[in-house]
Amino acid sequence: MAFTDKFAAEILSLQVKLYSASARLEARTDTEALHDLRIAVRRIRSLLKPFRRVEEMQALNEAAAAVGRQTTPARDLEVIIQELENSGFPQLARPRLLRLNAGYSAILNGMPLKRLFTALDAWPAGFRAIELDGGWADIQPRIKRALQKQVEQLHAAIEDRRFDRHELRVLVKRTRYLTEAFPALSPLSGGEAKVLKGLQSALGDWHDHYQWCQKALTEKELLPLQSTWAVCAATALEDAESRLSEAAKLLPKSAGKKKLPDQAAN
């Protein structure tokens, strides 16, 4: 199968997963539906990232980004509800469950998800039109360049002790998902990609606890948990810093000068 056919087939399979996840979310069959929907959206964006400036790819990329933005508050709410229940505070979880259900309905009935499905239906025609015009002759070299640039930016950010750890978490996620989208074209080996997964997990754990501590400043009913969350955040950040040192040694270095990404743009 040609690379372009595999690429198109991967987008199609993610569209099917999106339909499945949205149906599960509507039926409230399980607690992983929104998470799975967001993963499918993230993988679509990773596949499209090397071509985000190609006009025929922009509508789908922008539609996927809009769904990602809209679903973030609901996903954050899911995570803190699970934390409150696990910590023995179900009375704090219950009112948030009502807000979560309202958030689910807003996602399912909102324009971002509808636009995404419309864009997915329309996308293959634009993609094949470029192929017929010979526009995908350099598709694999283009992906390789995008992956190399992403890894170089991550390496530079890891080596800069002043680089914001919130922004670094986003950069690790983007590098990992782009590598997972195109593993055969990535400069990272399977072992190096696994290091990124562990690093993302540690930074994510720190980020969650940090955000909950900040939330407790305005949602006073969360104050009894703030000190515990602060300790967990510090422990997770220490773990992440240790993993960052490991990643700095393992990630492939470029012969050229590494350029830090624009933190504000992230």
Query: What's residue 260's pLDDT?
Result: 61
DSSP state of 188: S
CA distance readout (Å), 82 to 66, 91, 97, 210, 220: 25, 12, 10, 16, 18
Q: How does the average pLDDT of the chain come out, rounded?
A: 91
Architecture in CATH of 1-137: Up-down Bundle (1.20)
DSSP-derived 3-state class of residue 30: coil
Query: What's residue 255's pLDDT?
Result: 42
pLDDT tens digits, 154-182: 989 998 889 999 999 999 999 999 999 99
In whole angstroms, what is the distance from residue 182 CA to residue 41 CA? 16
pLDDT tens digits, 41-66: 999 999 999 988 888 899 999 999 99
Residue 261: both structure tokens together: 């990404």
Query: What's residue 261's pLDDT?
Result: 63
Residues (pLDDT < 50) of the chain are 255-256, 264-266
Architecture in CATH of 148-251: Up-down Bundle (1.20)
Contact assessment for residue 15 and residue 123, using Cβ atoms and an 8 Å cutoff = no
Contact assessment for residue 230 and residue 165, using Cβ atoms and an 8 Å cutoff = no
Residues in the chain: 266
Which amino acid type is present at position 142? R
Pick from 173, 170, 178: which is nearest to 143 by CA? 178
Query: What's residue 1's pLDDT?
Result: 64
In the chain, where are the structural domains located?
Answer: 1-137, 148-251
Pick from 120, 113, 121, 115: which is nearest to 22 by CA? 113
